[in-house]
Structure 1
Amino acid sequence: MALSITRASIERPVAVWLTIIFCVLGGYWGLNTVGRLEDPSFTLKTALIFVPYPGATAMEVEEEVADVVENALQQMKQLDRVESKSMPGMAQITVEIEMTYGPDEIPQVWDEMRRRISDIEGDLPAGAQPPIINDDFGDVYGMFYAVTTEGLSPSEQRDLATTLQLGLVTVDGVAKAEVQGLSEEVITLSIPSARLEKLGLPPTQILGILADENQVFTNGEITEGPARIGLSVPPGYVSPEGIEELRLGTAGNVGQIAVSDIATVTREAAEQPSQIIRQNGKAAFTLGVSALTDRNVVAVGQEVSARLERLKSELPESVEIIPIYEQHVVVDEAVSSFLVSLGQSVAIVVGALMLTMGWRAGLVVGATLGLTVFSTLFFMSVFGIQMERISLGALIIAMGMLVDNAIVITEGMVIGMARGKSAEDAAAETESSTSIPLLGATVIGIMAFSGIGLSPDATGEFLFSLFAVIAISLLSSWVLAVTVTPYLGKLLLKAPKNTSDDPYKGPFYGIYRGVLWTALRARIPVVLTIIGITVWSVMAFAQVKQAFFPASNTPIFYVEFQMPQGTDINTTDEEMQRLERILMDEDAVTGVTALVGRGASRFMLTYNPEQADASYGQLIVRVADAATIATIASRLNQDLPAEFPHALIRVEEIVFGPPSGADVAVRFSGPDPVILRQFADDAMRIYEEAGTITNPRTNWRQREILVEPIVDEARMRLAGATRGAIADTIRYGTSGLRVGDLREDDVLIPIHLRLPESERDGVDRLRDLSVWSDGAGSYVPMANLVERFDPRLVEALIHRRDRERTITALGGARSDLTADEAFRSVRTEIESIPLPDGYAMEWGGEFESAGDAQASLGKQLPLGFLVMLTISILMFNKIRQPLILWLVVPMSLTGMVLGLLFTGLPFTFTALLGFLSLSGMLMKNAIVLIEEIDFLRAQGVPDYKAVIDGSVSRLRPVVLAAGTTIFGMIPLLPDAFFASMAVTIMGGLAFASVLTLVAVPVLYALLFRIRPPKRDAQSDGLAATA
């Protein structure tokens, strides 16, 4: 079959030219139509459930709400993990679904979750509000902007946000437009307590009137002739002025008074806003835009940018729309940069081939390589595989194997024509002996990645494009190598003027013959030496830095800011403004986005937004050059703690891949919060003593002060009052009692009844208030009902993991260390902390994230390797040849270890992918070499001579493939994401070439008991030096 393909290709040039034109035009079409993303689209299998429980302590929230919800969720078979955070007045439950569920199944999983939560609403305590479910937690708003609002009222801000949202959601390809950080308002009725008491007016009457006057009523209809006319009763008030005109008092009593007679009605900014946002020091809100998953984000982003430019003409002059992060720009620049690097790699490969093989042979191989890339781009577009970081990396990973197929065919034609054969015969003979081994080796190379790409979990979803692109490109390279390459070879290759039966003459081959002859004569020492080097490399691997994913080259970093738990949001904001000014004074900084009270919308896949917390702030800082981030981060981490001694501050760089939450983290689980805090304190002490961990902290934070009224139950009952009335009075005297809402368009503005500011001056003043008694129909002094107000420390945050209370002690790695090095510096001592029965410890942070990823790979890779082993056995139909193949694979570790140690780069997830590629290239070379030796032996060539001649015939293809691939990796060295992978391939391939050309023939001779004949020793030695 293979012979007919070659003959057909050479004899039917029209078909070949059609193939070439198809590849070029198809590649051009694919390049312009393939979708583009920053990272592969990936389903975050996470949902958040919020259950408000106003007035409850964190402990009450945990026991009465979180436990009920967790119990319902635990019955879901799809559940992987459930975590909860109980806070005063709020339960936040995080639901993680098993990674084996695909994106098509997740909506059904969320539907089941919603049904289960709906079923337990009746089991929640009185006072708990209905659960709020957010299963869109993973939506990415990759086009993310700050919109400044200096001088705009809250209503003007809302109108502006509505204009922008409506203008953007109609853009083709836009899925959502989200706004955060709009100014919040309240309507305040300030009434002195003495006035309410004098009038005998209960707060409930004000609440009832406001509620009734603001209802939307069901109205009637009448028939007038042929028309049906509706009737409408409008709300009693639509503005603060309308509230002032409402009448209070008993029905039929002429002594009714207007609200304005006893209250000051003001419309003002919320005293405790949920979030505050600034851009470069100016008040702002954020606008996030997400694209549909099947669209080219670059094209969508360009349309969004154009629409924003048109909308600017409709906006007030003071409004600025400032990009915080534009995914389409990042993707466009990244893809363009990568395509330049790919072009440079191809040019380097072709140039090296031309120098070593001659311009004609180099052009044949280079043209085949270019056509392979073009055809890959075509099929990527056809199959909907988007151009993103992983799929582009796959092309680089496959580069060495792509070029090898064409090199083998071209080299065979060059050698055959040097022996006097025609181009057709040389091509046919080469393909007949190498096409099946090359196909088998290609399939084995693909299967090296099958465990990753076909994994049913999140790893497979994220890395499927890696497997798909490698499979497409390698199969395309084999097809083109056996069809187009022979025809191009016929057109371009010229037979040498002087033919020879032995084209492997000259010092290049002679030196190799000598080395090989010596190695074959010292088989045992050579094998032991290689084994020793391999053992050393395994031991030396422990000295290689370990990292899950490298730092990103995006010119953005974060400053995480955390005040003591319970800090007022306005106090947090004041400190954040100081921090902003420090950052904006940095010469390298070009933009600062400040977020107080919660994190931003998820503007990139790896960003994990912080949920509501008044003591939390974050700066998103953009710099002119990403190379300056490490220096700035190191200096800020050192200087800022002294500037803000009461806050926890850490500077974080963006990393490729999923966030781990912290570099180093250890979890302690058990029933008693006091004991758990002791374990966490022990861990933080170890962190501090080691000196390798920065910003040690716990996720339970500090305890908060809670002031609790001690109620005299008997006197309260005697007075006809209730605890609810006492609570209403306390709210009226402090933050405000919500008595209604003002409906304005689609917004409900809260109406609060509260004391004037002059009467709100501390807890002691609460004893001077009076409580309305429904039983007595009058006010009762608070002092008669409450013995005292007791302050006490309580847990403000209670974290649970899989229904167990769990505290986490976490921290960052010192700037000169990797997360793995910092982890190893404290691991032994922390693991020696004695734990009583009922308590457990486990590691989190990057150690857990990397371990989970490696465990996932560990589950799937064996299947891929089993397929590879099966194919290798079926190819040879024997055992010893595959045994040689698999013996040399682990030996390639040496080159990788040397390369990483020499450059100081860490072994990352991408380096692991590079090592898999390296294994594929090594096995491919070894397969063709072993097949060549077997072929020569089958032709009657003496065994020893077959080993020598077969190895020599593979010398130039192996060296060329390795050399061109190594040089082709050079453009990737400056790339933060691909650097460690490039070094792995470069170092590993250099050593793997030695393994192929020395270890494989030596092991072959050893396993097949082939010894050099004594009578040929002298001639062999002379040949070696010829």
Structure 2
Amino acid sequence: MNITKLALNNSRMTYVLVALIISLGLMVYADFPSREDPLIRINKAMIITQFPGLPPEKVEKLITQKIEEKLRELGDIEFINSTSKTGQSVITISAYQHIGDLNKLWDDVRRKLTQSKSSLPKGVLGPLFKDDFGDVSIFTAALTGKNWSMSVLREHARDIRDRLYTLNGIKRVTLHGLQKEQVFIEGSASVIESNSIDLGELVRSVKDQNSIIPSGSILTNARQITVQTSGKFDSKASLNELEIPANNGGILPLKDYLTVRTGYNEPSTELAYFNGKPAIVIAASMQSGRNILQLGPQLKQLLNQLDEELPVGMQLQIATFQADVVDKSIGNVKESLYQTLFIVLAIVILSLGLSEGLIVGITVPLTILATLLVMFFIDIDLQFISLASLIIALGMLVDNAIVITENIHLRLHSGQHRVQAALHACKELALPLLTSTLTTVLAFAPILMAKTTAGEYTRSLAQVVSISLLISWFISLTIVPLLAVHFIKDSKQKKTFFLLGFYQSFVRKVLNHPKKFLGLITSIFAFSLYVLSLVPVEMFAVSSRSEVLVYVDLPAGYNVNQTKKATNTLTSWLKDKQENPHVDYISSYIGNGGPRFFLSIIPNEPAPNNAFMIVKTKSAADALIMQKNIREFAARELAHTNVRTELISRGTVPPGVVQLRFVGSDAEVLFKLSKQAQAALSSIPGAIHVRNSWENRTKRYQITIDQAKARRAGVTYQAIANALQSTFTGIEITQIRRNDTLIPVVIKMKHNTVSAINNANPLDLVKVYLANSNSEYVLLSQIASMESVAEFGTIVRRNMEKTITVEGKHLSFKAPQLQAAWDKKIASIYEHLPAGYRIELGGELEGFKNSAGTLFVTLPLFLGLILCILVSQFNSFRKTTIVAFTIPLAFSGGFIGLYLTGANFDFIGGLGFISLAGIIINNAIVLIDKIGDEQSQGKNKLAAIESACINRLRPILITTLTTVLALIPLMTMDESLFYSMASVIIFGMSLGTVMTLGAVPALYSLLLPSTKKSPH
């Protein structure tokens, strides 16, 4: 079917189609789902299981390993990473990226966890399955209150959560920094002993009294009335009034001998602070398909209203607000898009003249609006990647329209009728332009097939570019000829291009000395390879956001209070406006990683010795300054704390981080190897943030019971465990209900030696008193001994193998440089690695390798398809070879461009080279196609080459110029994500086009016969 003829014969319908595209496109654009980053699926989930007091080694064997064995039965799980610490197992599972129904897999995981419970120790808490790992918070707000208790703050936080759920578009609201309220029943061991109070009887009395018991029902004439007996406690006061039995037969009021107080779980499991004030942080995620730019104002209005309704002294402050970030980010990209649109229109009008320039120019916004319509219907959101993709496509999508318009103009100049000129021009160029369009689309196709997070993140780049190019081809064969027939001006005088004379002379010299010219461009390519070796490599560039991420890691074994002390020291300094005028606010999460407020940030696993801080500065430049200042302050004031600072990056591993994983069966061997590697990395001048995933050895006190003495004393193991637990953390015996909240009641004994135990000499623990079966008190030291035992504070496994990861980064080196220096220092470890042990590469280099690997694994397939299209188009292997030869010419320009602009060779830059390959061959395709046409008209080979080159020079240079200049706004944006890609395409197209204009005639003259041969 001839779509050009159809469009011309039904011109009114074609204009209606144009009007529909414009009107519907503008309507969709006004209400387009928007977000900062592409919506990608995070295929990770977390399983948390707790058993307070259980050593890491036993947590690994009794909990972690049992759960891992069940999970391993599921074939769709790629990685199982586990961390076993004292009293806690954290398992992170990662599904294969190609899994279709992730929810089904998570349901299977839940079933396996249910099955595993029977094999776990009695008294274990969990396992708790968290499949909301990938939810990104669209805002975080800190609820603080001077002189308000945490329990009151919690009630208000829950009210705020309920109000937020009334807002259409909110998916999930989470609260962070909640401290669990508890009621403590406390008393000294001496009081218990002197009054002969039976602790067991006390516990039973509290449990029996705090119960709701059905007591039957009363049957009346009209109805049946239920009778219920309730003795439940509803306050601290009701506990105080409880009468407890003593062994001497008396009844004692609890308040006279024991103290009842309210407090919070000791030690706290997680804390949150905002600008140094205790806070509850409220975070919410957004439903998919929603427009954050529309939801944002409603959300901010509600948050301001909620803040105004709070009691005096209580405040709700916004910490992060994604709508503002998206508005700024999308606004910047839109501004660049408008600048690019203006540049493209200006170039085509100046190059082609007003009438032809406007015809080509109209196709640009028309193609964009049509692309937006398709994006809307196939659920591609308006986000940074998709908008930047439109900018990249803008310079390319005028190519088809320019070539068609130029050809129609030449035919009109030769005297053809307008309609015939349009029909013949489109018939001649439809297939070559489709070929060049499809080759470009296929060049982007590997991005669509990449089965990694990075590939999924950049997928909309390939989708948007491919959609826009295919639409531009269709518009060029329908709307462009229609507009040309009606509006292109007659030209009695052929336009002369000012570079034609120079280029004609250049082509003749190339044809006279083709081998010399080919030798020259080969030398340029070889030089560019050397230049490439000087270009730094990284996965993703840092973003332009103004936050500094601070990770505060104390040695393993430190509690939350010590972590809080270190964090407060850093916060106090950061709050000093004279020292740090760049800082806006500080959010701190102690013992937990807080909410995920940016796509690539993976929250810390729960750990009492870790904290995570977000330092918001006034600008990205200020963030860079504060990153350095924080690092220097920590080195001075927090010498025994590992403080790591990072800027926000779009990669899951921060830029520059190197990692090696030591894998094997024996923990001691692994730890020794990792410590050697850690020392080697630390010895490199400029190395920072060096650490290993098993941290350090910790101290545990092992109590050994003399069974014979324990039996003679009438003391059971349970009594010993209860006595020790009640001394430190307390034993939960019942719960008090306050509204919809259950508050644990914990009995906790005070011993004179507790202070010494906690602060000075833990060996005093043996002075704890125990009650035997006759309610007589026995010293623990009479039946037990205690010794100090060193153990691993953290045990990490990867796919059920013990694994220690050593990592670090450098003040100036990129990851490849640092890894090379590190490998030299640990060469002996590689050489003498014990049998059964291995070292695996991790960090940024592994991420780059995996992402590039999945990207390039499908590249041969699509290159093969491109070659098939070219062979089908030309029916010639030699012509296809000439087209393929232009790709390295463009690459040489890209290599040099990276070096000259100071860009890094990152993942996006790699995509730039793939894009470049698809773009540059279009020039060769139209040149070779035109040479064939000239030869078919009877011209000899050299004359045909010269004529075709001169004929195609202007459209090639115009399309190159539009592609190059259209990328300048993207290159100069504050956001540096596409800086490398823009550098590659700008320099690759510029140098590649110049060399292609000489290489194609040179190769054609050498490889193709002088006369066209018959296919028979």
Please tell me the TM-score bracket, short chain as reference. over 0.9
Q: Which residue of 2 aligns with 1:884?
A: 882
Equivalent residue for 2:55?
Answer: 57
CA RMSD, 1 decimal: 2.2
How far 1:22 moved relative to its partner?
Answer: 1.8
In the alignment of these two chains, the number of paired residues is 1000
CA contact (8 A) 2:398 2:959 kept: yes
In 2, Cα distance between equivalents of 1:281 and 1:321 = 15
Give a deviation string over 1:636-655, Cα, whole Å, max 9, x none.
32342122111011211000
Once the 2 structures are TM-superposed, how far is the Cα of residue 887 of structure 1 from its aligned partner?
A: 2.2
Gaps of 5+ in 2: none
DSSP 3-state at the match of 2:903: coil
CA contact (8 A) 1:30 1:379 kept: no
Could you say which residue in structure 2 is the equivalent of 1:141?
A: 137
Aligned to 1:613: 607
Matched, 1:771 2:783: no
**Alignment match, 1:1019:** none
| Separation of aligned partners in 1, 2:781 and 2:90 | 37
Aligned residue among 85, 99, 102 for 1:106? 102
Corresponding position of 2:680: 686
| Shift, 1:387, TM fit | 0.8
Say if 2:172 is the partner of 1:176: yes
**CA 1:768 to 1:903, structure 2 compared with 1: closer, same or farther past 3 Å?**
same
Instruction: Confirm or deny that 1:239 pairs with 2:257.
Output: no
State the SS of the aligned residue for 1:142.
Answer: strand
The answer to whether the 8 Å contact 2:698/2:790 transfers is yes
Question: Using the alignment, how far apart are the partners of 2:511 and 2:227 within structure 1?
Answer: 104
1:801 paired with 2:778, answer no
The 3 A distance-change label for structure 1 pair 219 and 590 is: farther
Residue type at the aligned position of 1:131: P
Contact 1:562–1:615 (CA<8 Å) still a contact in 2? yes
Deviation at 1:711, TM superposition (A): 2.1
Q: Encode CA deviations 1:892-931: one digit per residue, 9 max, x unaligned.
A: 1111111110011101211122222211111222212211
Counterpart of 2:521 in structure 1 is 530
Q: Is residue 2:567 matched to residue 1:573?
A: no
2:256 is matched with 261
Distance (whole Å) between structure 1 residues aligned to residue 652 and residue 408 of structure 2: 48
SS of residue matched to 2:230:
coil
Shift of 1:57: 0.6
Does 2:1003 align with 1:1003?
Answer: yes
**Residues 201/352 of structure 1: CA separation in 2 closer, same or farther (3 Å cut):** same
Give, in angstroms, the shift of residue 630 of structure 1: 1.8
Distance 1:616 1:357 in 2: 64
The answer on whether the counterparts of 1:452 and 1:860 sit within 8 Å (CA) in structure 2 is no
Tell me if structure 2 keeps the 8 A contact 1:733–1:766: no
**Are 2:540 and 1:543 equivalent residues in the alignment?**
no
**CA shift at 1:826, angstroms?**
2.0
Q: Shift in Å at residue 421 of structure 1?
A: 3.6
The structural deviation recorded for 1:593 is 0.9
Residue in 1 that maps onto 2:74: 76
Which of 623, 626, 641 in structure 1 is aligned with 2:617? Answer: 623
2:631 is equivalent to residue 637 of structure 1: yes
Which secondary structure does the structure 2 equivalent of 1:191 belong to?
strand
Distance 1:374 1:653 in 2: 36
Q: Does 1:188 align with 2:174?
A: no
1:6, 1:352 → 2: CA distance? Answer: 26
The equivalent position to 2:434 in structure 1, one of 436, 439, 445, is 439
Specify whether residues 454 and 262 from structure 1 end up closer, same or farther in structure 2 by C-alpha distance, changes over 3 A only. Answer: same
For 1:183 and 1:89, locate their aligned partners in 2 and report how far apart those are by CA, in whole Å. Answer: 19
Counterpart-to-counterpart distance in 1, 2:937 and 2:827: 64
- CA distance in 2 between counterparts of 1:988 and 1:779 reads 86
Q: Does the C-alpha gap of structure 1 residues 370 and 130 become closer, same or farther in structure 2, counting only changes over 3 Å? A: closer
- Which residue of 890, 904, 907 corresponds with 1:906? 904
Equivalent position amino acid for 1:770 in 2: Y
TM-score if structure 2 supplies the norm length? 0.95
Q: Tell me which amino acid in the other structure corresponds to 1:537.
A: S
Q: 2:701 aligns with which of 686, 707, 724?
A: 707
Q: Indicate if the aligned counterparts of 1:944 and 1:1011 stay in contact, CA closer than 8 A.
A: no
Which range moved further: 982-991 or 177-186? 177-186
Aligned position for 1:517: 508
Alignment of 1:395-434 (within 5 A): 395-434=390-429
Contact kept in structure 1, 2:554 and 2:610, CA below 8 Å: yes
> Per-residue CA shift, 1:472-524, capped at 9, x if unaligned?
2111111111112223333443223435xxx6x56511111111111122222
Q: Is the 8 A contact 1:547 1:906 kept in 2?
A: yes
Deviation at 1:280, TM superposition (A): 1.6
2:209, 2:460 → 1: CA distance? 60
Structure 1 residue aligned with 2:988: 988
Deviation at 1:372, TM superposition (A): 0.7
SS at match of 1:690: coil
State the 1:610 CA deviation. Answer: 0.6
| Equivalent residue number for residue 553 of structure 2 | 562
Distance 1:818 1:221, change over 3 A: farther
Alpha-carbon deviation of 1:831?
A: 5.0
Of the structure 1 ranges 49-58 and 739-748, higher mean CA displacement relative to structure 2 is found in 739-748
Match of 2:741 in 1: 747
Deviation at 1:90, TM superposition (A): 1.2
For 1:811, which of 789, 808, 811 is the aligned residue? 808
DSSP-derived class of the 1:143 partner: strand
1:1023 maps to none
| Residue pairs, 1:727-742, within 5 angstroms | 727-742=721-736
Do the aligned residues in 1 keep the contact of 2:510 with 2:1002 (CA within 8 Å)? yes
Q: CA contact under 8 A between 2:141 and 2:281: conserved in structure 1? A: yes
Q: Aligned partners of 1:420, 1:622: CA distance in 2, in Å?
A: 68
**C-alpha separation between the residues in 1 aligned to 2:497 and 2:67?**
79
Contact 1:148/1:319 (<8 A) preserved: yes
Structure 1 pair 661/94, CA: closer, same or farther in 2 (3 Å)?
A: farther
Matched, 1:117 2:113: yes
Q: Alpha-carbon deviation of 1:254?
A: 6.1
Tell me by how many angstroms 1:60 deviates.
Answer: 0.9
Q: CA 1:188 to 1:406, structure 2 compared with 1: closer, same or farther past 3 Å?
A: same
Q: Which residue of 2 aligns with 1:9?
A: 7
SS of 1:232's partner is strand
Return the letter of the residue paired with 2:950: V
User: In the alignment, is the contact (CA less than 8 A) between 2:212 and 2:232 conserved in 1?
Assistant: no
Counterpart selection for 1:938 from 920, 936, 939:
936
CA contact (8 A) 1:739 1:751 kept: yes
**Kindly, what percent of the aligned residue pairs are identical?**
28
Distance 2:633 2:764 in 1: 42
Q: Gaps (5+ residues) in structure 1?
A: 1013-1026
Shift of 1:235: 4.0
Q: Deviations over 1:258-277 (max 9, x none)?
A: 21121011112444212221
Cα distance in 1 for residues equivalent to 2:388 and 2:449: 17
Shift of 1:996: 2.7
C-alpha contact (below 8 Å) 2:538/2:655 kept by paired residues: no
| Cα 1:831/1:142, change in 2 over 3 Å | farther
Give the Cα–Cα distance (whole angstroms) in 1 for the partners of residues 885 and 231 of structure 2: 84
Distance in 2 separating the partners of 1:131 and 1:269? 23
Structure 2 distance, partners of 1:606, 1:520, is: 54
**What is the deviation of 1:179?**
0.7
Give the match for residue 283 of structure 1.
278
SS at match of 2:789: strand
Q: What is the CA distance between 1:820 and its match in structure 2?
A: 3.2
- The within-5 A match list for 1:668-683 is 668-683=662-677
1:85 shift after superposition? 0.6
Query: Residue 499 of structure 2: SS of its match in structure 1?
Result: helix
- Cα deviations across residues 917-976 of structure 1 (Å, max 9, x unaligned)? 211111222212211112222232222211111122111111111112211111112331
Work out the CA distance in 1 between the residues paired with 2:225 and 2:449.
64
Q: Which amino acid aligns with 1:672?
A: D
- 1:307-343 CA deviation, whole Å, 9 max, x = no partner? 2233233211323222222122212221121111011
- Residue deviations 1:654-676 (CA, integer Å, cap 9, x gap): 00233359711111111222222
1:564 is paired with a residue whose SS is: coil
Deviations 1:223-273 (A, max 9, x none): 43333433333343111111111222279x961212112101111244421
Question: Is the partner of 1:683 in helix, strand or coil?
Answer: helix
Question: Structure 1 residues 957 and 221 mapped into 2: Cα distance closer, same or farther (>3 Å)?
Answer: farther
Pairwise CA distance, 1:352: 1.9
| 8 Å CA contact 1:6, 1:431 repeated in 2 | yes
In structure 1, how many angstroms separate the alpha carbons of the residues matched to 2:888 and 2:665?
Answer: 47
